[in-house]
Structure 1
């Protein structure tokens, strides 16, 4: 947002310094995004392993004070995707040190249903379920990424065009 503000002020005031600053900052953001995308595809397997490991560690924060967002996120994911745990419902056994799961893992939600038998819990692993959903929606994610890149490239083009026009106007006026 700050970068956009610099670009707007630079365009309104026709200020060479602000236009060039906007161009450089937008170029850096674009290159950073492109680099991250390349690294993501190059290291997909490692990212996959680290994500599973870190999600399992994060389960231990479920329901703890100060982690309402994480607790709500897990509850929503497990309810909406009809899954339980990272690898399976037994991931929760370590968290609770007992044979139980959060109520959001239950086939039919009711208070304290996570204390009942495993037959009443979702069996699907959340990590794989969400991963499959992302793969099914990869086209939408790709289109969004390309549209974002196009807007940034247009911003770079327009910023440099305006910068050149301001420089040219300054040269003729001097």
Structure 2
């Protein structure tokens, strides 16, 4: 009885943590989906995207799906332990095992993607530049999206200020660039070519692509630690659920 009670408590702890993690992931997924001003929204404005890169835009749906499933398995684990239901415990174990295998497969895919990411973003650069030079300053939604991105990341263009060359904004403003391309030297909300070049050469203003890479690199350790923690909890939860499953079977 003492051992059984301890295992039930462990199930509550494990599944409570998984439930909260699922709620957090679900919340992030919903936020990414509804935040039309996020950097991910830029992908939707670029024509002729490489098929591999276009799939990144679907990450919000993946996060929502994973979060929802984690909520369900957290609920099944708690109810299965409380009611001592072998069916619910077995269902819980099966779903957690499937999720764990998907996570392992996803980790392998990410490792592979890391090796080809530079090539993919290099091919994306041409399409983004084409989009900027054709629509920035003319397409209101794209212009607003890029302005929000450049302001938030303190960056200029995809790679640098030259991405805006010959764009509608550039032509309408007699060769001036957006103010984000300068480092405190903008004139009337715009940036001269000399100031933009100087800011870029001195490393005072970086491209948004480099800023995004830096953000990912800065948080890579945190993401990896969280992923390993969740994986460890899932393995522990599977072990405990099977022990309870066996004990309930012996009682019957």
Shorter-chain TM-score range: 0.7 to 0.9
* 1:92 to partner: Cα distance: 0.7
* 1:147 to partner: Cα distance: 0.5
Task: Identify unmatched segments of 5+ residues in structure 2.
Answer: 1-66, 81-87
Task: Identify unmatched segments of 5+ residues in structure 1.
Answer: none
Is the 1:6–1:22 contact (alpha carbons within 8 Å) kept by the matching residues of 2?
no
1:53-112 residue CA offsets vs partner (Å, 9 max, x unmatched): 3432453554533343443002333xx24xx33343232123226223112223324434
Q: Normalising to structure 1: TM-score of the pair?
A: 0.73
| RMSD across aligned positions (CA) | 3.0
Instruction: Specify the alignment match of 2:250 in structure 1.
Output: 172
Is the 1:86–1:126 contact (alpha carbons within 8 Å) kept by the matching residues of 2?
yes
Q: Normalising to structure 2: TM-score of the pair?
A: 0.54
Q: 1:105 to 1:49 in 2, by over 3 A?
A: same
Instruction: Specify the alignment match of 1:46 in structure 2.
Output: 119
Instruction: Specify the alignment match of 2:108 in structure 1.
Output: 35
Instruction: Specify the alignment match of 1:7 in structure 2.
Output: 73
Q: Does 1:111 align with 2:185?
A: no
Instruction: Specify the alignment match of 2:164 in structure 1.
Output: 92
Is the 1:27–1:156 contact (alpha carbons within 8 Å) kept by the matching residues of 2?
no
* 1:146 to partner: Cα distance: 2.4
Q: Does 1:71 align with 2:152?
A: no
Q: Work out the CA distance in 1 between the residues paired with 2:109 and 2:124.
A: 16
Q: Work out the CA distance in 1 between the residues paired with 2:136 and 2:146.
A: 7
* 1:127 to partner: Cα distance: 5.4
